[in-house]
């Protein structure tokens, strides 16, 4: 959410940004007036988030084989990441981007193209990936395993207590 929110507001500060015309907004109905720069930026970020969360959730070393042993999954990740990268870096004039109805990062008054914004979005993707993977790594390796060990210790202590009590009553 944080990364999407960041780019939602960041894209508004860019020189090529054109806000939606409020008089043409038709809430809930999809048409060409619903296309916005916010949608373009969030879509480019969001497609990567699917792959990143999927890879992050796949780490479970002591219980499952690593990802590279699962060939289909690996191929799926590679294909999806390649498609995402293509969407992110292809110039907006390309047919692919036209089909997705992405808006060009071009200032309409000066005609200047801001291709560097693609790199800025890519940096956002990298930061997002590191954060997601790092958080999941810490939670699974540290928090979850500690939690499980604690639960087992509690159960064992309970058992010991039960036995001591019985012994004392004898």
Partner 1 sequence: MALTGRAFRYAYENRENEPFVFQSILARGRVFARMSPDDKALLVDSLQTVFKINCGMCGDGANDCGALKTASVGISLSEAEASIAAPFTAKVQDISCVVTMLKEGKCALVTAFQAFKFIFMYSMIEMIASALLYPMGSLLADGMYFYIDMVALIPLSIFQTWTGAYDKLTKDMPTSRLYSYPVFLSVGACTAI
Instruction: Tell me if 145 contacts partner 1 by CB under 8 A.
Output: yes
How big is the chain by its Cα radius of gyration, in Å?
25
Rounded least distance, CB 112 to partner 1, Å: 24
| Angle (deg, nearest 10), helices 2-10 and 37-57 | 160
Give the number of C-alpha atoms closer than 13 A to the C-alpha of residue 56, restricted to the C-beta side: 19
Rounded least distance, CB 71 to partner 1, Å: 9
Rounded least distance, CB 92 to partner 1, Å: 13
| Contact assessment for residue 52 and residue 127, using Cβ atoms and an 8 Å cutoff | no
Return the residue matching tokens 């293509």: 86
Instruction: Tell me if 47 contacts partner 1 by CB under 8 A.
Output: yes
Rounded least distance, CB 12 to partner 1, Å: 10
Contact window for partner 1 (CB under 8 A) among 104-112, 113-121, 142-150: 142-150
Site size for partner 1 (CB under 8 A) = 74
Rounded least distance, CB 108 to partner 1, Å: 18
Instruction: Tell me if 13 contacts partner 1 by CB under 8 A.
Output: no
Residue from the set 115, 119, 159, 161 that interacts with partner 1 by CB under 8 A: 159
Binding flags for partner 1, 48-77, as an x/- string (CB under 8 A): -xxx-xx-xxx-xxxxxx-x-xx-xx-xxx
Contact window for partner 1 (CB under 8 A) among 38-46, 108-116, 118-126: 38-46
**CA–CA separation, 13 vs 18, rounded Å?**
10
Question: Burial code of 102-115, b = ≥16 C-beta within 10 A, e = fewer?
Answer: bbbbeeeeeeeeee
115 or 130: CB nearest partner 1: 130
| Contact assessment for residue 33 and residue 133, using Cβ atoms and an 8 Å cutoff | no
Using CB under 8 A, which residues numbered 104 to 133 contact partner 1?
Answer: 128, 131-132
**CA–CA separation, 38 vs 31, rounded Å?**
16
């Amino acid at each position: 959410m944080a990364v999407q929110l960041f780019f939602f507001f960041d894209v508004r500060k860019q020189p090529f940004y054109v806000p939606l015309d409020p008089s043409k907004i038709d809430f809930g109905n999809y048409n060409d007036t619903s296309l916005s720069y916010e949608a373009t930026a969030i879509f480019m970020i969001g497609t990567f988030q699917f792959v990143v969360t999927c890879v992050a959730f796949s780490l479970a070393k002591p219980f499952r084989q690593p990802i590279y042993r699962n060939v289909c999954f690996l191929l799926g990740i590679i294909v999806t990441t390649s498609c995402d990268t293509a969407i992110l870096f292809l110039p907006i004039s390309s047919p692919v981007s036209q089909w997705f109805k992405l808006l060009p990062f071009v200032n309409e008054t000066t005609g200047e193209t801001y291709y560097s914004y693609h790199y800025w979005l890519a940096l956002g993707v990298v930061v997002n990936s590191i954060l997601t993977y790092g958080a999941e790594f810490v939670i699974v390796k540290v928090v979850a395993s500690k939690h499980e060990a604690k639960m087992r210790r509690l159960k064992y202590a309970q058992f010991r207590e039960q036995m001591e009590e019985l012994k004392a009553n004898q």
